[in-house]
Structure 1
Amino acid sequence: MVDFYQEQVKKAESNIKKAKERLEKAKERLDIAKGKVEIVVQLQEAQKEYKELREKIRSGDNPKVIKLKQKEKEVL
């Protein structure tokens, strides 16, 4: 009878150990995913900023901008 309970305790300890390992792996994957999300957010912000700057340049009356627009038209 004692052997049965000792086996049950060993199984439970083994299950706990495996669960802790799975938890650590899940935490690592979560950290990686968080990093990827941060990169995507930064990329989206950079793209938005680029578009805004591009619009500011295109809408300006700067002579250099006018020359650039003319060159773009010539290329197209």
Structure 2
Amino acid sequence: MCLSASRGNDIEISLEDFKRAKKLLERTEKKMDKAFKGIGKSNIAEVTDRVLTVIIAKKKIKRSEVLRFLYG
């Protein structure tokens, strides 16, 4: 509806509006996991985020390597 309204004053949602909305949502969903990354009540949220980032990047990593990354 928003995309239709941004296009003009008619109250009709076109197939193109739907396709644009679908494409926009698909792109947004790819990074949605980062929307609230590190936010929360936990005082270790930032460290947890750093550990997750390393694990995701490396795919496979030993605990000792993670600790070395965090603490030098």
TM-score, normalization: structure 2?
A: 0.33
Higher percent of residues as helix = 1
For CA contacts below 8 A with separation 6 or more, give which structure has more relative contact order.
2
TM-score, normalization: structure 1?
A: 0.32
Larger radius of gyration: 1
